[in-house]
């Protein structure tokens, strides 16, 4: 039996932080997720380079346990350049130059809060404070943006958003750009907070991202709930 045929419920479960594994466990045996696993195995068999590395695909979940989620930032798909993607939306590993959208995020934080612009674009420090840095797609082919669109990831990450909305309360969702804002319907606005702005991309940042003050607003919303503010 080949690896792609041997897809029992036991070996399709990803290595995932325990609280996420519990709330998402039913997804891993659903037909769409099994097909997604087959697709990824076939990509590998065909010699495609996939980002991020397999061990980092679920980085956002492993660094921000379900029980600790206070803020959700939604991205679209991983960076498709070598060495950039590591499983957190907008983030890059230490030593990798921050891409333009991330540079604009840092500029807005500087304007909003006065924080110095950091040299590193690694946002793990946010993730460890309860900021879920979630891309809608968790994998991508090298140099081919959106190449894993409509393969199953959107269904999985939509379920993540729905589960946060249903099982938690008082979470701050930052929806930047139309793609992220299309997810608003998955969120119970009577229980959670939604802040919307333009995408931080250079193509749209001046149309409403700069000046949005989402970082101070997020901290104010957390403070109102007697929750620890994020050190951005």
Question: How confident is the model over 68-108, as pLDDT tens digits?
Answer: 999 999 999 999 999 999 999 999 999 999 999 999 999 99
Active site residues: 77
Residue 153 has pLDDT above 80, yes or no: yes
The whole-model pTM stands at 0.93
End-to-end CA distance of the chain: 49
pLDDT for residue 5? 37
Cross-strand bridge partners of residue 195? 174
**Residue 78 burial (10 A CB sphere; 0-12, 13-18, 19+):** buried
Residue 10 has pLDDT above 80, yes or no: no
User: Among candidates 205, 65, 74, which has minimal Cα distance to 137?
Assistant: 74
DSSP E strand boundaries for 8-111:
50-51, 71-75
């Amino acid at each position: 039996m080949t690896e792609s045929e041997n897809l029992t419920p036991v070996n399709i479960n990803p290595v995932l932080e325990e609280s996420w594994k519990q709330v998402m466990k039913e997804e891993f045996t659903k037909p769409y997720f099994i097909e997604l696993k087959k697709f990824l195995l076939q990509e590998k068999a065909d010699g495609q380079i996939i980002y991020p590395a397999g061990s980092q695909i679920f980085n956002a979940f492993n660094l921000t346990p379900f029980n600790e989620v206070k803020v959700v930032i939604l991205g679209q798909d991983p960076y498709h350049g070598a060495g950039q993607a590591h499983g957190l939306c907008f983030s890059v590993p230490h030593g990798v130059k921050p891409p333009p959208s991330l540079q604009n995020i840092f500029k807005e934080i500087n304007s909003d809060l006065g924080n110095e612009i950091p040299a590193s674009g690694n946002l793990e420090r946010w993730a460890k404070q309860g900021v879920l840095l979630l891309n809608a797609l968790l994998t991508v082919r090298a140099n081919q943006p959106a190449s894993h669109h409509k393969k199953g990831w959107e269904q999985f990450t939509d379920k993540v958003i729905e589960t946060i909305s249903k099982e938690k309360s008082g979470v701050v969702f930052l929806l930047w750009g139309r793609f992220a804002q299309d997810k608003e319907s998955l969120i119970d606005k009577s229980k959670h907070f939604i802040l919307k702005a333009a995408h931080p991309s250079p193509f749209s940042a001046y149309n409403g991202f700069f000046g949005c003050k989402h970082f101070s607003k997020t901290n104010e919303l957390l403070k109102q709930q007697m929750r620890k503010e994020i050190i951005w």
